[in-house]
């Protein structure tokens, strides 16, 4: 169903003051101190990442080779797991660093490939390897399935892993190791691409693992993976069934998230939020292509849409946190996930604050490559925050306004790093969050993703660009969005539930077709065949074929009370084959 709705090189810093700004942008007062912090924290961060990877990471004792532990924290919160998403983003950072010249990382990367190949074969609550299991978000650190309750499936892991390994495969091909790319790396990528082709148009949980719907981040990651995956397959003489056809349709769907002034990060869900979410900043930096123009369709970092969205997301936190009070418009503030966040009372995160910086550093790279900055009506509010007198137009690199604009954006971006500096403890340990009132580190300690986010932000600041993923030839939006062919099975739910007059029975579960666990959207069962000897309630529901899901039955009383059957959740895998059918027989518990 279509559901739209190393050694750091020196960066040249421009020092001219704008001649068009009526109110000069305030500069960072402690530039030398910031540079010293960046140098020190960069070293701490790469060591922090490696410490959380088995088998020899100092904070990952007993963890298998190539497995990334999210955090050594095992209590309040327990992050002693390996997340497919976190690991893929971490290894994308490591692989980009390797491609840029850090050859010490190759064995770690090869170990990651082997570990992921093993994980792809582990059956889990999201399904078997063939029925959706690649969408399982996290595993135990020993590479066994985590079977507890969780927001599943999460469909961003496979495309993110495919992207990280595609970068590596392309390097292998270019450096005389084509056989390794073909025989070892490609099989892992191929499975992830097949998953992405099959499931990109089905709902799932977002990267924060809270909202079940259509996620901007997941779709952006899927588009990139399909584009570069199709190109890699051609290079290796392999097939990527459906990749080339699906990619433009994913891009078409992505346009549905644009509201006209910002990205609504989760649609096709009733989450009660504005949609202003740092996942859109992370999407922009993930899909940054150094050869791209400032393309709105792919939300490139320098695009008018991405800049307007940057302002909307950052501004949503200006009055949200006590530590942001008194900071003027156009100056950097602490950034969280989304303003309605309540996890650990809702605090800013290191990685989201760094994402705000990284998008701007990437935009600067693109403007310098293009040799101009274009300001549109959409992006004008962003630019006027940092250079108040600027107007709509295109400013070539020979102009003083161009120089002033890059100066102002660079200062703004550095401000976000300075916020991280302010709230980083003396030992450089990066937790997940820092307190919205005091700035004290909160939640999981030594978060791998926080360290990786610091590394990628500073790499973009210092201007070494990651490899292109092919955006310039994959940014055309089809005139008409078309849905992929559906492949459904008809599942009949037979439930024996003794009820009284006025009670009704429903089935609810983890699929959109089963209401995404919402009692209000649950599927009603019929009592047409109910007798005192056989209290049968039933309903036939069309579900995606060969898909694992969880479900339960609920009663709704005459006065509207909802009664859930007891734990645990029931699990089932729909039948194989399009237009197939199956029946489940259950009794209320």
Query: In this model, does residue 151 exceed pLDDT 50?
Result: yes
Q: What is the largest CA-CA distance in the chain?
A: 87
Give the residue, 32 or 226, on which the prediction is more confident: 226
Adjacent-strand bridge partners of 505: 555
% of the chain residues with pLDDT over 90: 85
pLDDT of residue 5: 36
Cα(472)–Cα(27) distance, rounded to whole angstroms? 35
- The predicted-structure confidence for 39-90, as pLDDT tens digits, reads as follows 999 999 999 999 999 999 999 999 999 999 999 999 999 999 999 999 999 9
- The predicted-structure confidence for 101-139, as pLDDT tens digits, reads as follows 999 999 999 999 999 999 999 999 998 998 889 999 999
The rounded mean pLDDT for the chain is: 92
Alpha-helix residue ranges (DSSP H) falling in 387-424:
400-422
pLDDT of residue 512: 85
pLDDT of residue 97: 96
Catalytic residue among 156, 206, 414, 586: 206
Indicate the domain borders of the chain: 31-473, 488-587
Cα(273)–Cα(195) distance, rounded to whole angstroms? 29
CATH T-level topology, domain 488-587:
Immunoglobulin-like (2.60.40)
520 is catalytic: no
Contact status, residue 123 vs residue 157, Cβ threshold 8 Å:
no
Query: In this model, does residue 12 exceed pLDDT 70?
Result: no
User: What number is the average pLDDT over the span 466-480?
Assistant: 96
Cα(484)–Cα(249) distance, rounded to whole angstroms? 9
User: What number is the average pLDDT over the span 285-308?
Assistant: 98
Query: In this model, does residue 178 exceed pLDDT 60?
Result: yes
Cα(285)–Cα(481) distance, rounded to whole angstroms? 25
Strands 548-556 and 570-573: antiparallel
Window from 265-269, 317-321, 374-378 with minimum mean pLDDT: 265-269
150 marked as binding residue: yes
Catalytic residue among 110, 209, 462, 503: 209
In this prediction, residue 269 has a pLDDT band, given cuts at 50, 70 and 90, of confident
C-alpha torsion angle, residues 124, 225, 298, 415 (rounded to 10): 70
206 is catalytic: yes
Query: In this model, does residue 283 exceed pLDDT 70?
Result: yes
CATH code reported for the domain at 31-473: 1.50.10.10
- The predicted-structure confidence for 201-254, as pLDDT tens digits, reads as follows 988 999 999 988 999 999 999 999 999 999 999 999 999 999 999 999 999 999
Contacts of 165 (CB under 8 A, 6+ apart): 95, 113, 116, 185, 188, 189, 192
pLDDT of residue 482: 87
What would the DSSP string read from start to end of 349-380? Answer: BHHHHHHHHHHHHHHHHHHHHHTEEEE-TTTH
pLDDT of residue 31: 63
Cα(381)–Cα(342) distance, rounded to whole angstroms? 29
pTM comes to 0.88
pLDDT of residue 27: 37
Query: In this model, does residue 10 exceed pLDDT 50?
Result: no
Query: In this model, does residue 16 exceed pLDDT 80?
Result: no
pLDDT of residue 22: 29
Query: In this model, does residue 516 exceed pLDDT 60?
Result: yes
């Amino acid at each position: 169903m279509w559901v739209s709705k190393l050694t750091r090189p020196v960066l040249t810093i421009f020092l001219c003051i704008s001649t068009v700004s009526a109110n000069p942008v305030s500069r960072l007062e402690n530039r030398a101190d910031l540079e010293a912090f960046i140098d020190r924290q960069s070293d701490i961060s790469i060591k922090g990442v490696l410490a959380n990877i088995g088998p020899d990471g100092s904070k990952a004792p007993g963890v298998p080779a190539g497995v990334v532990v999210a955090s050594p924290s095992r209590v309040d919160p327990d992050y002693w797991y390996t997340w497919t998403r976190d690991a893929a983003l971490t290894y994308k950072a490591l692989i980009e660093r390797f491609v840029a010249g850090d050859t010490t990382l190759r064995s770690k990367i090869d170990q990651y490939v082997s570990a992921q190949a093993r994980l792809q074969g582990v059956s889990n609550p999201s399904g078997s390897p063939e029925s959706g299991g690649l969408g399982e978000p996290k595993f135990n650190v020993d590479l066994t399935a985590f079977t507890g309750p969780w927001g599943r499936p999460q469909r961003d892991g496979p495309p993110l892993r495919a992207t990280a390994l595609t970068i590596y495969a392309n390097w292998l091909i270019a450096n005389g190791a084509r056989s390794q790319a073909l025989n070892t790396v490609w099989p892992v990528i191929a499975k992830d691409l097949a998953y992405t082709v099959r499931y990109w148009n089905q709902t799932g949980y977002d990267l924060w693992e809270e909202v079940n719907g259509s996620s901007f981040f997941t779709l952006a990651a899927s588009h990139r993976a399909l584009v570069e995956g199709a190109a890699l397959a051609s290079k290796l003489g392999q097939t990527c069934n459906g990749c080339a056809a699906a990619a433009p349709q994913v891009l078409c769907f992505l346009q549905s998230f644009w509201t006209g002034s910002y990205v609504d990060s989760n649609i096709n869900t009733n989450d009660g939020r504005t949609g202003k979410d740092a996942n859109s900043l992370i999407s922009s930096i993930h899909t940054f292509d150094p050869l791209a123009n400032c393309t709105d369709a792919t939300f490139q970092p320098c695009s008018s849409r991405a800049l307007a969205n940057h302002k909307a997301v950052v501004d949503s936190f200006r009055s949200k946190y006590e530590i942001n009070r008194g900071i003027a418009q156009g100056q950097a503030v602490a950034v969280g996930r989304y303003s309605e966040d309540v996890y650990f009372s809702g605090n800013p995160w290191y990685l989201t604050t760094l994402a705000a910086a990284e998008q701007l550093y990437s935009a600067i790279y693109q403007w310098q490559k293009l040799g101009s900055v274009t300001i549109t009506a959409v992006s004008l509010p962003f630019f006027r925050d940092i250079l108040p007198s600027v107007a709509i137009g295109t400013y070539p690199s020979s102009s003083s306004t161009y120089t002033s604009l890059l100066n102002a954006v660079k200062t703004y971006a550095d401000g976000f790093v300075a916020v991280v500096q302010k709230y980083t403890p003396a030992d450089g340990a990066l937790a997940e969050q820092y307190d919205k009132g005091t700035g004290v580190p909160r939640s999981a300690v030594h978060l791998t993703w926080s360290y990786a986010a610091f590394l990628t932000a500073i790499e973009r600041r210092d201007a070494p660009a990651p490899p292109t993923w092919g955006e310039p030839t994959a940014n055309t939006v089809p005139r008409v969005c078309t849905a992929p062919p559906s492949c459904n099975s008809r599942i009949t739910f037979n439930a024996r539930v003794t009820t009284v007059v006025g009670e009704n029975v429903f089935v609810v579960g983890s699929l959109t077709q089963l209401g995404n666990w919402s009692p209000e959207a649950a599927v009603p069962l019929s009592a047409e065949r109910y007798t005192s000897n056989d209290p049968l309630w039933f309903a036939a529901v069309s579900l995606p074929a060969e898909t694992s899901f969880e479900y339960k039955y609920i009663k709704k009383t005459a006065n509207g009370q909802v009664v859930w059957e007891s734990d645990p959740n029931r699990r089932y895998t729909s039948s194989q084959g399009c237009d197939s059918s199956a029946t489940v027989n259950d009794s209320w518990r």
